[in-house]
Chains A and B, each alone.
Chain A
Amino acid sequence: MKFPAFDYARPAGLDAALDLLAGEAAVLSGGQSLSPMMGFRVARPEKLVDISRLSALRGAALEPDGTLVIGAAVTHAMIEDGALPGPLGGFLARVAGGIAYRAIRNRGTIGGSLCQADPAADWPCVMSLLDAVLVLRRAGGERQVPVRAFLLGHLMTAIEPGELLTVIRIPPQPGARFGMAKSTRKLGEFAEGIAAACLTPGAARVTLGALEVPPATLAVDPALVTGPQPARLTSSPLYAAVDAALKAADATDPAGYRHHLAVLTGCRALIEAAQP
């Protein structure tokens, strides 16, 4: 379980990093997914470019129009500890605090998690809900890709060789309330069911992760969310609505437990969003 040999570079600045990435190289951010994969020799990068200390990627700011901008190398722990300004900071701090264990949060980064694109991870689900836009830079250029176009499937993204995710841009969400639900057998494990929900006046949507496909964002009739719920969610109109919407998305085996967990966590996230 030792790493195979590789070259390692820790460039001092973003441009130097992009120049290095223009050759054959893999990005090392927090390394919380990559290093075990290298230990198992499933991942065998010849060269690692360590971006974890690039100050340009380690900050967060609120733009005048309310857009929240997060550097890709911001760690889960920084977010958990309140590094994000603005009205979304509290919700995202809570999301971050639920990721794995503190030791992993200390190193793991939001950009790394998005690029790893594990469907059961927290950030792909939450950023899909928030319609985040990802800034991908390469030596001499950049493009902006909506997260829903970025996430292509299990461990698959639209990033191209030479590109580096530098910034996550989250548009303002006026009047929104949020909810999050996860289903794990053990705290800190990758979720078997994960959902994030957003309730705005007149609209409700929920993003379901831990599917075989990228996170699925479903619109739900807000009246089903805000009304009283029966004690057994499985017999609620809300459950039926999310169930039907997920079946229509054709992302799961509709008879299976994972489908049920996706719907159940989706309902729980929506109900939490509706809590006063």
Chain B
Amino acid sequence: MDSHHDSNLSNSSQVGQPFTRLEDRRHLAGQGGFVADLRLPGIRDVAFLRSSMAHARLGPIAVPADAPAGAVWTAEAFHGLVKPIRAVLDRPAYRPSDQPVMAEGTVRHVGEIVAAVLADNRALAEDLAERLEPAYDPLPAITDPEQALLPESAPLHPGWADNVYMTMGRTTGDFDAMVARADVHVTRHLRMERVAAMPLETRGCVARFDRGSGVLTLWIATQRPHLIRTMLAEQLTGIEERDIRVIAPDVGGGFGGKSNLYPEEILLAAMAMRLPHPVRWIEDRWEHMVSASHSRQHVQTITAHATKEGELLAVDVRFLVDGGAYAMRTSTPAVEANMASSVLPGPYKFQAYRFEATTVATNKTPVGPFRGVGRPAAVFAMERIMEETAAAIGMDPVEFRLRNMIQPEEHPFTTISGLVYDSGDYPSLLTKAAQSIRAPGKGDAPANIAIGIGFGCYTEQTAHGAQEWHRRGSPFVYGFEAARVRIDPSGGVLVSTGIQSHGQGLETSLAQIAGDVLGVSYDRVRVVHGDTELCPYGMGTVASRSLVMAGGAVEGACQRLAAKIRRIAAHNLDCAADDVLLAGGEAQGPGGSIPLDAVARIAYLELQKLPLDVEPALDILYCYRPPVETGAYSSGVHAAKVAVDLDSGHVKILDFVVAEDCGRVINPLIVDGQIAGGVAQGIGQALLEEFQYDDQGQPTKVTLADYLVPGAPELVNVRIIHQETLSPFTVHGAKGLGEGGAIGPPAAVANAVSDALRQFGVDVRRVPIRPEDLWEALRP
């Protein structure tokens, strides 16, 4: 990965430095602690029997006569102990569906939990689970979103008139007038298939109930320990939130897939509360493929109306998303289509916008958030139509985009879909990316190879505050983050935070922020996260919000602590607090200095030196709520250069450039890692990854041999160009960037392949791009 920084940040601050990650010390030594590493005395394992049918009436489950008492837990065993999961959205068009914690009466997708089996180890639990015989009476399965809309498709959920979770639409601007003014009208029907986050570590949960204290402790591979705790208290009977402790230990990737509340953790909690020993469930990859949330699966129709001079006048889009069998909490399946329709305009301005966003239920694994949520699909639709519209009017696709982009001086800019962009320079990003990807020219390729270049331009809504979450109808308004900062008597800095780091390097980035304010080296700062008992309440790591929100909280807490340190130091240095500088691990006054550990000793152990009006101890809790709550918008342009083998239809990526602007870069190494990892997932979506189901609703790709995740050989060295347009709305001027890497590649790669094949009249209508489809389209 190459990285080129276009930054004017040049002081001795730690923010902005490419420090290697503090957490890598334990991970590279194999000393991380994940859920499956946990060893507890007496622990027993749970295996779930999962539905082998996509849609069926579920009758009695025959249990072998030799099954040990208490080994098999069916839905009846949980009556009165747990409540079904209901994901709500405070929008009139949204229709909730209850997700049973364990199936009862009906199963609605392959992989739905039918029974839990408890044994001394997982193998024994599986031995018994496979001998259970559920009585299934098959029902017709809905396996495609368009099929779900057909009148003959019976509603999957009781009380529903059809299979629509939510449909909404709006027209903004004088749509008909713009259509009448346009010279060209370009339409494409597109598909983005169903994928999943597929973290290296599958899900997992250990639950232990301490009868003495009445405390239920759950270790869960999750992105949101505090919210999971709040929701568990709602789902379980007989226990208060106060008595639930959720610990997210080291988590091996989440990407949104571990942000949902899952039935498994509710079941484990309920079982642990009734058992004298801890219980454990570690998800295997097959379970992950059929029961962890899936994502995307869009059917799209998009039309651009433009003048022949290259002015984009209006866009008309319809999103249809296959939401799967149940509404997962909290995002609901509607998050995908709703988000796509709202972010579709991206970096462009146009006069009129009409959209319809519909999410339907099918007999497939439920859909939840995955890195990018709605944005990869929106950018795919928008950028494909920008490319095709440019071709239709005979204009260079970069020139066409530049003509229609929001200019930097127009910020803050309210998009036609109502989003408020804080800052950005999109034309500059596109110009840089185009110069970089086009520099070597198209080159000489053999006659069986067609080379193409394509772009994917996006804005990335990040770190949205209360106003935006409330606008969406989210029952939880993710409006703040908290940080507690302590300095112990020896001068060590302990930061605990409500977000949760599962690969983002936040233990390092937040330490850099704290280190700068407190004048200590970042590696003296220990960042604790993921434990509801040790950390202040927080929303968790989702929606590209952690650095901005938790960074703001850490900055604020440290500033307050620093003010206190300056007062203590000033008192002992006989100077004014304003004259004290925190640097190099000491408090420096005009006439002398005191080491930070000495200040800390004063605050805790030598109170005779502490001013009477200063509260003892160095321990601050601060909650950060951004002053402007509409979010900070990162932006980027992805540019791909591909080679299409005309004989086989195979696509090879030759070069990939990311021009990216996430405002102030806190740690360039971490930012580059986030981008490269996101691009890898985006390329997976562009070329390889897709779940498929047969017409009975059976998933046909349930191993990593069938569901193809890109490996190093399928990727290229991502060349990254940074641009720093600071956000006026955030503490450091930083913007979130966790998702951007995954947003651009499907559009950029699809456009590059379309560019390569334009000479043959072929353009990409579907991702992943399948070699056989290209071969079929290229057949003479």
Hey, which bits of chain A sit against chain B, CB under 8 A? 1-5, 36, 40-41, 183, 185-190, 193, 230-234, 257, 260-261, 264
A231: chain B residues within 8 A (beta carbon): 446-448
B286: chain A residues within 8 A (beta carbon): 1, 40
B559 to chain A, nearest CB (A): 49
What total count of A-B pairs have CB within 8 Å?
Answer: 60
A193: chain B residues within 8 A (beta carbon): 648
A255 to chain B, nearest CB (A): 10
Which of B122, B448, B687, B775 is close to A185, meaning CB atoms less than 8 Å apart? Answer: B687
Q: Is B32 an interface residue (CB 8 A)?
A: no
Would you call B708 and A185 a contact (CB within 8 A)? yes
B116 to chain A, nearest CB (A): 16
* A and B contact pairs by CB, cutoff 8 A, 26 listed: A1-B284, A1-B285, A1-B286, A2-B123, A3-B123, A4-B123, A4-B127, A5-B127, A36-B703, A41-B126, A41-B130, A185-B708, A185-B771, A186-B688, A186-B708, A186-B710, A186-B711, A187-B713, A187-B714, A188-B711, A188-B713, A189-B708, A231-B447, A232-B646, A257-B771, A261-B648
A177 to chain B, nearest CB (A): 22
By the criterion of a CB under 8 Å from any partner CB, how many residues of chain B are at the interface?
A: 30
A187 to B648, CA, bound (A): 15
A40 to B710, CA, bound (A): 23
Would you call B284 and A264 a contact (CB within 8 A)? no
A188 to B708, CA, bound (A): 11
Would you call B711 and A233 a contact (CB within 8 A)? no
Contacting A at CB under 8 A, from B197-242, are none
A2: chain B residues within 8 A (beta carbon): 122-123, 126
A36 to B122, CA, bound (A): 16
A185 to B772, CA, bound (A): 11
Which of B287, B647, B688 is close to A234, meaning CB atoms less than 8 Å apart? Answer: B647
Asked if A257 meets B710 with Cβ closer than 8 Å, knowing A186-B688, A190-B705, A264-B647, the reply is: no
Would you call A257 and B775 a contact (CB within 8 A)? yes
Q: Is B776 an interface residue (CB 8 A)?
A: yes
- Tell me the nearest residue of chain A to B703, going by C-beta: A36
Would you call A233 and B688 a contact (CB within 8 A)? no
Q: Is B701 an interface residue (CB 8 A)?
A: no
- Tell me the nearest residue of chain A to B121, going by C-beta: A2
Would you call B447 and A232 a contact (CB within 8 A)? yes
A24 to B287, CA, bound (A): 32
Asked if A186 meets B647 with Cβ closer than 8 Å, knowing A1-B284, A2-B122, A232-B448, the reply is: no
Hey, which bits of chain B sit against chain A, CB under 8 A? 122-123, 126-127, 130, 284-287, 446-448, 646-650, 687-688, 703, 705, 708, 710-711, 713-714, 771-772, 775-776
A87 to chain B, nearest CB (A): 30
A260 to B364, CA, bound (A): 33
A264: chain B residues within 8 A (beta carbon): 647-648
A183: chain B residues within 8 A (beta carbon): 648, 650
A232 to B775, CA, bound (A): 13
A230: chain B residues within 8 A (beta carbon): 447
Known pairs A4-B123, A232-B447; list 13 more (Cβ under 8 Å): A1-B126, A1-B286, A2-B126, A5-B123, A41-B126, A185-B687, A185-B688, A186-B708, A186-B713, A188-B713, A231-B446, A233-B647, A261-B648
A193 to B284, CA, bound (A): 30
A41: chain B residues within 8 A (beta carbon): 126, 130
Which of B127, B285, B647, B649 is close to A232, meaning CB atoms less than 8 Å apart? Answer: B647
Would you call B284 and A257 a contact (CB within 8 A)? no
Interface-central residue, A3, A5, A41, A183, by most chain B CB under 10 Å: A183
Would you call A187 and B127 a contact (CB within 8 A)? no
- Tell me the nearest residue of chain B to A186, going by C-beta: B708
A201 to B350, CA, bound (A): 68
Asked if A185 meets B711 with Cβ closer than 8 Å, knowing A1-B285, A231-B446, A257-B772, the reply is: no
A98 to B687, CA, bound (A): 21
B771: chain A residues within 8 A (beta carbon): 185, 257
Would you call B710 and A260 a contact (CB within 8 A)? no
A187 to B687, CA, bound (A): 13
- Tell me the nearest residue of chain B to A101, going by C-beta: B711
B710: chain A residues within 8 A (beta carbon): 186
Would you call B775 and A260 a contact (CB within 8 A)? yes
B579 to chain A, nearest CB (A): 62
A234 to B775, CA, bound (A): 11
A37 to chain B, nearest CB (A): 11
A188 to B714, CA, bound (A): 11
B284: chain A residues within 8 A (beta carbon): 1
A261 to B645, CA, bound (A): 12
Would you call A185 and B650 a contact (CB within 8 A)? yes
A2 to B647, CA, bound (A): 42
A244 to chain B, nearest CB (A): 17
B71 to chain A, nearest CB (A): 16
A16 to B771, CA, bound (A): 50
A185 to B771, CA, bound (A): 8
B292 to chain A, nearest CB (A): 14
B485 to chain A, nearest CB (A): 44
A235 to B127, CA, bound (A): 56
- Tell me the nearest residue of chain A to B714, going by C-beta: A186
A92 to chain B, nearest CB (A): 22
Would you call B130 and A187 a contact (CB within 8 A)? no
B287: chain A residues within 8 A (beta carbon): 1
- Tell me the nearest residue of chain B to A232, going by C-beta: B448
Top 9 A-B residue pairs of the complex, sorted by shortest distance between their CB atoms: A231-B447, A2-B123, A1-B284, A257-B772, A187-B713, A186-B708, A2-B126, A233-B647, A232-B448
A185: chain B residues within 8 A (beta carbon): 650, 687-688, 708, 771
